[in-house]
Every structure is written in structure tokens, then in C-alpha cells.
Amino acid sequence: MLNATTAEIVERKALRVNAAKTCQPIGAMYASLGIHGCMPHSHGSQGCCSYHRSHLTRHFKEPVVATTSSFTEGASVFGGLANLTQALRNIFTIYNPDIVAVHTTCLSEVIGDDIPTIVKRATEEGVVPEGKIVIHANTPSFVGSHITGFSNMVSAIIKYLSEKSSPKEQINIIPGFVEPADMREIKRLANLMGVANVLLPDTSGVLDGGLDGTYEMFPKGGTTLPEIRSTGDSQATIGLGHFTGHPGALTLETKHNVPATLLELPIGVGATDAFIQTLRAFSKDGAVAAQIETDRARLIDAISDMQQYFHQKRVAVAGDPDQVIAHTQFLLELGMKPVYVITGSLGNHFEKRLHELLDPVVPEAKIKQQSDFFELHQWIKNEPVDLIVSNTYGKYIARVEDIPLVRVGFPILDRVGHRFFPTVGYTGALRLIDMITSALFDKKDRSCAEEWFELVM
């Protein structure tokens, strides 16, 4: 299977082979898990929910809990009103969450179920207990990707729950589709700057928890409902990532006139600098915390020390659009050459932004949205690269072509450190440098002549 990719490239208009994305409900489920006391609910068949849960579980190595409307042939014909009503009755009776976040699937979208009407009727009939909340987002799998689903659910959370009462000296941060460790690092940076903040969603403490002998259906982590309600009173919202952070920030600006500041994921030097500079505007004295300056100095030192190993190395980058844009910018800061850059998701901003980054320094770079790993492999067969930066699915190319691989983004199914160690911020960039140099050095140790097999690089 690994050697079946041909070097001859034929234009494909519809067929995707090893697509660099997955479906909307997975992203919606992940966003829902970032709300404290929330039960994600898949309005569709059991098979859909099982796939989404298992994919997230394999990535985070944690049990992902979600419920389903369990569609059968009858629901496919007559609609899912009875299934969702019964599901809500069971959920609140058995699990007693504070909130249920419903996301749709292909089948319920094709049928055209009116979720708000079903929920309203269930509430009037007493199926939804007093004080409990049900929200929903439309996330058909045949449109967009898991990135779209995450964004749609975050926007739905804001539309349903954010309120405006009295101004608060705090900001909102929408972190985008990143790891729990990344969300924890974003909060750490904001707290070091002395900026009160609400992170939405927040999966730290939910999908990277410890083992203390007691199982918690709803872990201690996650953004609380009072925090979400208060987002309408904040001074501003920082949206991180064009595809996953910006839409929610703009939704809040439209609903409650909370100013939106739109940044890229803070990966690498420049993007993290921009994030810290934005936080300075909301800090009391405008000073940068000493710990942050130290972290940045360490990063610059590491880049300087390792420069000779990065210089002009050809790199292929694939994965989620926000991650790919941020990693490409960081690779340029390292002096590397991202020559192939793809995502499986749609959105013209992806190609536009990458042309802005790459055209001045790597004019020969190939940039493509809605691409797949098969096409990336074909490009590599014609003109090889020195490194691949992608999710786990890049390992098939890396193995057959004997190319070092650095795993970033979603999903990472065959490693464990990604949920514990951030890649955002200055400390996250240090980890990326360690991963990149280790991958390059491992390849050199495997392939170099014996007289070049050195103890010290």
C-alpha cells in the first residue's frame, strides 16, 4: 500500500485519497468538551458517534464521553424528533450534565431536523429540567471539516450563552483547535501578563487529566457557564487562528459589540510576539513579565545554536489550515524552506496568506487547499524533501521515502506527548525545535557513513 503512489500527477477534481482532514462533528465534539459540565450529543446514528468518540480517544488517550440520538431506519424516514427527545430525557436522568451541546450529522441534516424547535418542545414538556441548558450547532459532515465543526460550535456557544450586563476588566481568548497543553500555555502567558481572561473553549484539565483512582464523568476543567455568560462584558476578544478563532470572536463582536482582535496561532517567535504585544494593551502597566522575556531569550538562543542544521532544509507541511500557516511561518524563522504546503480544508485565506509568507523567500513553493496526502506524496516523489511536518498520517510517506517526520496537529494517533507539552508560545517553539532537530539527527545517524557517525552533532 505504501508504494502504490505514482510519481505521475493527474489532476483530480472530485476524488480524494488520504484526505488531510476529517468531518465536522469531531471538531464540534472537541469544542463541547471544553465547557465544564457539558455532555456532547451527536444527533445521528450510533456509528457516527462511535467514530467521532474513538478518533478523539485515540488522539488524546483519554475516554471521550458523548451521547447519540441512535437513528434507525424509522428516524431516517420520519425524522429524529422522538429520538432526540428520548435522548435528552435519558441524558438528564442518568448523567445529569449542566448543559447538552447537540451537533448534527449528515443524516439529520439531510432529513432537515429543526433542532431548536425540538429542544423548545422538549423543554415545554419538562424533558429538559429547570436550570439545565441545551444548545446546538449545525455540523453536516459533507460540508467543511473538523475545523469548520469546531468553529461552528464555538460560535453556537457564544450565540446561546454569552450575555451583557456590566463591563468587566477581562478579555476573552478563543484559542482555536489546539491541544489541552496549548490552552494551558495560553492561559499561563495571559496570567503572567496580569490579564484576567476567559478561555473559550478550554480542554485543559478535561482531556489531559491525571489518574487518582476516581472516575469523573465531568472533570474539573473546562470553561464554566458563568464565565461563558460573562464574555459579553469583556473588554475585547482575541481570536487565534483565521479558521477556528476568528469566527467566534466576530460572532461576539456582532452580538455584544465586544471588539475583536484577530491573530494567528502564537507558534514561533513572530506570532507569539504579536500575542504578547496584544496582551500588553490590557495589562495594568504594559510591561512584559520577566519569565516571558526569559522564555523568549531561551528560544532565540536555541535558534541561534541550531541554525546550521536548519539552513535551507526543504520541508513539506500538511494538516489543519491554522496550524499549517503558523508552522510555515516558524519554519521560515528557522531558515528552512517550506516547499510543499497543503491542507484538506477549504478557505481561500489559506492560499492567500501562505503566498504572502512564501512568495518572497520560497517562490517555487507549491501551496494548495483541499488537497490530500496522496498528492503531497506525488510531489515528494518528483522532488524530495528533508523533513515532513504533519499529523500521524504523514508517517506513510515518511516511511516509504525515508524522510524524518515531526508530528503536529490533529490527529496524532501513535504518540502521547502532544497533549501534555505545548507547541504554542516561546516554550512551545522550543519543543518544536527539539522535535525537528531530533528527527533530522535520527535520520543522519541511520544513514550516514561510519566515519561521520559522531557522538556530538
Q: Number of H helices and number of E strands within the chain? A: 18, 13
Amino acid at site 314: R
Q: How far is CA 324 from CA 246, 333, 338, 389, 408, in A?
A: 16, 14, 10, 9, 9
Which of 23, 48, 106, 406 is labelled catalytic?
A: 106
Query: Distance between CA atoms of 119 and 192, rounded to whole angstroms?
Result: 42
Task: Check if 110 is active-site.
Answer: yes
Which of 17, 110, 416, 448 is labelled catalytic?
A: 110
- 115-124 vs 81-94: helix crossing angle, rounded to 10: 50
Query: Distance between CA atoms of 383 and 329, rounded to whole angstroms?
Result: 22
Nearest to 383 by CA among 318, 433, 315: 315
Query: Distance between CA atoms of 156 and 358, rounded to whole angstroms?
Result: 35
Nearest to 175 by CA among 143, 132, 204, 135: 204
Query: Distance between CA atoms of 366 and 383, rounded to whole angstroms?
Result: 11
Kindly give, in sequence order, each residue whose CB lies less than 8 Å from that of residue 378, ignoring residues fewer than 6 positions away.
Answer: 5, 6, 7, 8, 9
- Tell me the Cα Rg of the chain: 23
Give ∠ CA 135-141-143 in degrees, rounded to 5: 100
Task: Check if 38 is active-site.
Answer: no
Residue 380: phi and psi, rounded to 5, are -65, -35
Q: Which residues are catalytic?
A: 106, 110
